[in-house]
Structure 1
Amino acid sequence: MDTNTLKLLVKLTQEGQLSSLEELLTLGGSAAVQTVSSQHLGRSGDTLLHYAARHGHLDVVEYLVKRVGMDVEVYNNDYKRPLHEAASMSHWACVSYLLREGAEVDSLKKADWTPLMMACTRRNLDVIQELLCHGADPALRNKDGWNSFHIACREGDPLVVQHLLVVAPDVWRTDSKTRRTPLHTAAMHGCEEVVRILLERCGYTPDSTDSCGVTPFMDAIRNGHISVARLLLEKHQASPTAADIIGAHPVHQVAVTGQEEALRFLVRDLNVDVNQRATDIQLTALHYTAKEGHTSTIKTLLELGADLHVRDKRGRTALHMACIGQHADAARTLLQLGLKDSEDASGTTARQLAKKPDVVRVFECGLPHPS
């Protein structure tokens, strides 16, 4: 079968044009049917059954299985079966049909993802229920240690999360290979209603940490989810000043991500010290945000009382950090705000740390020289 004919078959399958697809295969005779039944196409190695399931064309799926004789367990280069495709795109009718035809409900694709995990990336409870009714195991974990509940908590559909807790009450008792819990995941993605459910129905320890020492509160606040952070404070006794394994506190993590409203919440509402030090080298939020090049956040920190002239353990100012990060705008802003270039404990000036041409030019435009 030539390449153009195969491309046409794929197009007809994707568009759900069953009659045209059937007519073309009939014209090709038994040889064409035999070729199509085992033909893997493109870089992905998809078959026509993968395309039909992905696009939700039940009549085409039935035709390919019953008339063409395609195997419901056929897999592509990523080991995805048609059931993975149908589940990932929330096509309930195709999912139901493939299961009735004997598709393995917990088949694994690359990275050990099951069809239920794929379904949980969407918010279609009917598809999830169909898989569960056929014996799907929500506790199975992929290569990263995530189970279906982790994924559902990331997507944030309260009905899906509640249903999984009903059918598998202990499914929340899991963490990933980096020790992240579903509560971390929901907090990070700002899924407030899901966080509320987890706090009410699950026994998470306050300020549980992942392998980096990050708590759910840190995940929420550094991503700007203030309402979630507030919920964790009120309902879970989260600490706004806990430190991760490198000694960074929420105020430092928020400075890294440049979440200015979250900074105001920490400093003004929770009375967190804006000049709080982190790690053995005594970095402040101003150091962190300068290294990331968040020019607007630098100004916000100063409004909140940050010390412009503070130095870390190595004698470096925020200007040194801006130049380490090669951020011209941040360096320029700090100089304009009155921070002069100076030597750190090793005798190195910020100017000497500038490597990129636009950062070097900041110091060649008549701005202050080392004091």
Structure 2
Amino acid sequence: MAEAENQKQLLRLIQEGRLDLFKEELQRDEEMSKEVRWKHYGKSGDTLLHYAARHGHLDVLTHLVEALEMDIEMFNNDYKRPLHEAASMGHRDCVLYLLDKGARIDCLKKADWTPLMMACTRKNVEVIKDLIEHGANPLLKNKDGWNCFHIASREGDPQIIQYLLTVSPSSWNTESKIKRTPLHTAAMHGCFDVAKALLERCPYEPDSRDKCGVTPFMDAIQNGHIDIAQLLLEKHKEGHTSTIQMLLSLGADLHAKDGKSRSALHMACAGQHAACVWLLLQAGLQDSLDNTGTFAWQLAKKPDVLQLFKGINVST
């Protein structure tokens, strides 16, 4: 019982970064001082190095490596190394220290995630730069077929996307094991600025489909990201009537609106897509005002689009 309490106390001190008290605890128990060098704790199997790296305590990390001579490549039950922990939490000083000490740059945890992939789950471009400048491979894929660019596209930081495209111009050209591209991911998660950057810098094919037949446009509509759907329409110049039919058959929310209260009808009218307008009106989508006080029909310029509203007795 006393031993368990002592271990909890040590972990608490590491998590809180209280190095002086940690040293005092070890000085009082020589046996424990030897044991902590290789000890794994709890269900996760973390070592003290994992705790120090995760919480960003560089002084503690330094002491564990240099004074206690702990191995920086020790891994937990998920095969995470301390570098994974520091990178995933955005602790740049700990990342740089571990790299300076020779940590393996592309070590893999479970599901084949590298420290760079973990770093891309955070919006910290400096840590990502540090890893790449030390030789991290941005083209490696995890077990689902995602590389770091795919992961960054989900998180939605355009600065990171622009950086990755600069240092690894081909990183955009990737698909997951179910054929989903980074553009699918950005559209699904509503990352407008990233989707815009991808469409400006990457030659994605219009209407690229995953294994389920879903396109980025469909992902945007199904998840209510009308602004991204409109962006895709403008870039790829497609009416997407077949996509709309499929979405309606799948029970997609016909009345979804974006942050400016624009509906799919606003988008179709702005793009002058008569066939899309007709489908949406036939499905029962009513015209409504957006946040600027504009009806969808007011965005229509082409006579064939305007005629659709008159033809079904929609007030203009």
Provide TM-score, normalisation by structure 2.
0.82
Compute the displacement of 1:3 (Å). Answer: 0.7
Instruction: Write the mapping of 1:231-310 to structure 2, written as runs, cut at 5 A.
Output: 231-243=231-243, 249-253=246-250, 255-256=251-252, 260-261=256-257, 265-267=263-265, 269-270=267-268, 271-274=277-280, 301=284
Compute the displacement of 1:266 (Å). Answer: 3.0
The 1-side partners of 2:72 and 2:52 are apart by 12
User: Is residue 187–residue 217 contact of structure 1 (8 Å, CA) maintained in 2?
Assistant: yes
Compute the displacement of 1:173 (Å). Answer: 0.9
Instruction: Write the mapping of 1:1-371 to structure 2, written as runs, cut at 5 A.
Output: 2-29=3-30, 31-243=31-243, 249-253=246-250, 255-256=251-252, 260-261=256-257, 265-267=263-265, 269-270=267-268, 271-274=277-280, 301=284
The 1-side partners of 2:52 and 2:114 are apart by 19
How many residue pairs get matched? 276
Query: CA 1:149–1:269 in 2, change beyond 3 Å: closer, same or farther?
Result: closer
* Deviations 1:310-333, CA, capped at 9 Å, x for gaps: xxxxxxxxxxxxxxxxxxxxxxxx
> Where do 5+ consecutive residues of structure 2 fail to align?
269-276, 288-316
Compute the displacement of 1:27 (Å). Answer: 1.3
The 2-side partners of 1:74 and 1:239 are apart by 54
* Deviations 1:217-259, CA, capped at 9 Å, x for gaps: 1111111111111110011224432349xxx623345x43575
User: Is residue 255–residue 285 contact of structure 2 (8 Å, CA) maintained in 1?
Assistant: no
What SS does the corresponding residue of 2:263 show, helix, strand or coil? helix
User: Is residue 105–residue 136 contact of structure 1 (8 Å, CA) maintained in 2?
Assistant: yes
Give the % identical residues: 56
Structure with higher Rg: it is: 1
Compute the displacement of 1:40 (Å). Answer: 0.6
What SS does the corresponding residue of 1:249 show, helix, strand or coil? helix
What SS does the corresponding residue of 1:38 show, helix, strand or coil? coil
The 1-side partners of 2:238 and 2:124 are apart by 32
Aligned counterpart, 2:296: none
User: Is residue 223–residue 259 contact of structure 1 (8 Å, CA) maintained in 2?
Assistant: no
Aligned counterpart, 2:272: none
Compute the displacement of 1:272 (Å). Answer: 4.6
* Deviations 1:28-73, CA, capped at 9 Å, x for gaps: 11x2222101111111011111010000000000011111111101
Structure with more contact order per residue of length (Cα contacts < 8 Å, sep ≥ 6):
2
User: Is residue 222–residue 259 contact of structure 1 (8 Å, CA) maintained in 2?
Assistant: no
The 1-side partners of 2:57 and 2:254 are apart by 45
Provide TM-score, normalisation by structure 1.
0.70
> Where do 5+ consecutive residues of structure 1 fail to align?
277-284, 286-300, 305-371
The 1-side partners of 2:185 and 2:25 are apart by 48
* Deviations 1:109-168, CA, capped at 9 Å, x for gaps: 000000000000000011000100110001000000000000001111111001100110
Compute the displacement of 1:265 (Å). Answer: 2.7
Compute the displacement of 1:267 (Å). Answer: 4.3
The 2-side partners of 1:230 and 1:251 are apart by 18
Compute the displacement of 1:80 (Å). Answer: 0.5
The 2-side partners of 1:112 and 1:243 are apart by 34
Amino acid at match of 1:206: P
The 1-side partners of 2:255 and 2:91 are apart by 38
* Deviations 1:331-358, CA, capped at 9 Å, x for gaps: xxxxxxxxxxxxxxxxxxxxxxxxxxxx
Query: CA 1:57–1:272 in 2, change beyond 3 Å: closer, same or farther?
Result: farther
User: Is residue 53–residue 86 contact of structure 2 (8 Å, CA) maintained in 1?
Assistant: yes
Compute the displacement of 1:274 (Å). Answer: 4.2
The 2-side partners of 1:258 and 1:20 are apart by 61
CA RMSD between the two structures: 2.1
What SS does the corresponding residue of 2:36 show, helix, strand or coil? helix
User: Is residue 80–residue 108 contact of structure 2 (8 Å, CA) maintained in 1?
Assistant: yes
Amino acid at match of 1:19: D
Amino acid at match of 2:35: T
The 2-side partners of 1:22 and 1:258 are apart by 63
User: Is residue 251–residue 272 contact of structure 1 (8 Å, CA) maintained in 2?
Assistant: no
Amino acid at match of 2:133: C
